Amino acid sequence: MKYFLLLLSVFVITHGAPALAAGDAEPPPEMHWSFSGPFGTYDRAALQRGFQVYKQVCAACHSMDLKSYRNLAALGYNEDEIKAIAAEYTVEDGPNDEGEMFERPARPSDRFKNPYPNDAAAKYANNGAMPPDLSLITKARHNGANYVHGILTGYEEAPADTELMSGQYYNRYMAGHVIAMAPPLSDGVVGYEDGTDGTVEQYAKDVTQFLVWAAEPEMEERKRTGIKVILFLLVFTGIMYAVKRKIWADAH
Ligand code: HEC
C-alpha cells in the first residue's frame, strides 16, 4: 500500500506538473536592458519617453502612488518643466479656513494623481479587475522588466479552444493567458518629440524602463557604491598583504 502511494505520488509529480503548466504563462523574452549588469545605467532619453507613455496611456487606469512630480528631476527635467507637468493636474486639498475641501493645480511635491477616487471606482471602471499601482510593479513580479515588456507586447488572437468573456484578452505571457487589460498600446498612439519611432515595441521598452526606474530610482547609486567597495577591498587586500610580508620578513 505504502509502495503504491509512493508510486502514485511520483506519477502525480511527474505527470501532474506539466498538465498544470500548460495553462501557465510562458517566460517572457529576455531583453537587453541598458540598466542590466554591474555597470548598467538608465538611458535618460528612454526614461523621458517612457514617462510620456505612462502619462498619456497607462495613467488613464494605473496609479503610481509612491511617486511625486518632483521625483521626475531624476529623468532630467528641470524645475520649470516639473512645475508645468504638475500643473496639468488638479488635486483636492483642504480643508480651508471654512472647513471646505477645494481643488487646486498640483504642485511638484504632490504625488502622481490617481486616475480613480478609490479602489472600488477603479474596479468598477475596469469590468471588476483592479489595475495595480505601477510604482513597484517591476519588483512585484518575477523577472519584472522582461515580464512587463512581455505583457505589453504579448497580446494575441485567442486559440480556438480558449473562450474569452467580454473584457478579457488573450496574452501569451500572463499567467493563465487571460488578462482583463485591453491592449493599451498601438503604433503611433504616442507622438515622440525626439524622432524615435512610435511603435508598440518601442513604447513597451521605454515605459518598462521608466517603471524599472520608478521601482528602483537609486539603482545607479547602489551599483556605483558596490564598485567603490570592491575597489577599496582590492586595494586594502594589497596593502594588508604588503604589511604582512614586511612584519614577517625577519621571521625564519
Ligand atoms: C483601460 C485601462 C488600462 C490601461 C490604459 C492600462 N492598463 Fe494595465 N491593467 C489594467 C487592468 C484592468 C489590469 C488588471 C488585469 C488583470 O488583473 O487581469 C491591468 C494590469 C496591468 C499589469 C499587471 C499584469 C499582472 O501581472 O497582473 C501591468 C504590468 C500593466 N497593467 C501595465 C500597464 C502599462 C505599462 C500600461 C500603459 C502602457 C497600462 N497597463 C495601461 C488596465 C489598464
Is 137 near ligand 1, meaning CB less than 6 Å away?
Answer: yes
Which residue from 80, 75, 68, 148 is spatially nearest to 109, judged by alpha carbons? 68
- Residue 156 carries which side chain, given as an amino acid letter? E
Look at residues 200, 207, 208 and name the one whose alpha carbon lies nearest to residue 147. Answer: 208
Report which ligand 1 atom has the smallest distance to the Cα of 127: 12
The verdict on residue 249 lying in a domain is yes
In a domain, 247, yes or no: yes
Q: What Cα–Cα distance (Å) separates residue 138 from each residue in 9, 104, 151, 196, 204?
A: 36, 32, 12, 24, 13
**DSSP bridge partners of 171:** 155
What's the gap in Å between 207 CA and the centre of ligand 1? Answer: 12
Q: How many domains is the chain built from?
A: 1
Residue of 136, 171, 178, 181 best suited for mutating to test ligand 1, as the one with most atoms within 8 Å of CB: 181
Q: What is the best residue among 62, 136, 210 to mutate for testing ligand 1's pocket, by most ligand atoms within 8 Å of CB?
A: 62
Centroid of ligand 1 to alpha carbon of 117 (angstroms) = 18
* Domain assignment present for 230: yes
Alpha carbon of 58 to ligand 1 centroid (Å): 7
- Amino acid sitting at position 201: E
Q: Is residue 236 part of a domain?
A: yes
pLDDT per residue over 149-205, tens digit each? 999 999 999 999 999 999 999 999 999 999 999 999 999 999 999 999 999 999 999
Q: What confidence score (pLDDT) does residue 9 get?
A: 58
Low-confidence stretches of the chain (pLDDT beneath 70): 1-2, 4-24
Which domain covers residue 248, as residue numbers?
Answer: 220-252
| Residue 252 included in any domain | yes
Report the nearest atom of ligand 1 relative to the CA of 178: 18
Q: What is the pLDDT of residues 80-92, one digit of tens each?
A: 999 999 999 999 9
* Number of other residues whose CB lies within 10 A of the CB of residue 34: 11
> What is residue 145's predicted lDDT score, i.e. its pLDDT?
98
